[in-house]
Amino acid sequence: MKSRRKKEWENLLEELKLVLPTIDVEFRETKRIKSNGGLCIVKGKNVLIVKRDIEAEEKAEIIKNELKRFNLEEKYIKPEVREFLEE
């Protein structure tokens, strides 16, 4: 796994959030969950919920793990983000 600085993780997280709407997944952050987060269905829609007060690195890893469920081959994803998803 590539070593990244805090700012790099924050930038990567923002780029990952941009991928989610392309596959009809809504992103939400909340303090009111016991786990760090994951994908769920809310009122028939895919929603990725993550704990608000965890580090950007953890949020990015959660998104990465949940995106593995989707076929992203035909979606445009910035090369550095795709590289992260394939790590």
Is 56 within the bounds of a domain?
Answer: yes
Residue 82 belongs to domain spanning? 6-86
For the chain, the domain total comes to 1
Model confidence band, residue 3 (pLDDT cutoffs 50, 70, 90): confident
pLDDT band at 4 (very low <50, low <70, confident <90, very high): confident
Pick from 18, 57, 51: nearest CA to 36:
51
Look at residue 1 and tell me if it is in a domain.
no
- The angle at the Cα of 53, spanning 21 to 67, to the nearest 5 degrees, equals 30
Other beta carbons less than 10 A from residue 60's beta carbon: 25
Taking the model in full, what pTM does it have?
Answer: 0.91
Domain membership of residue 51 (yes or no) is yes
Interval 16-42: pLDDT, tens: 999 999 999 999 999 999 999 999 999
pLDDT higher than 80, residue 1: no
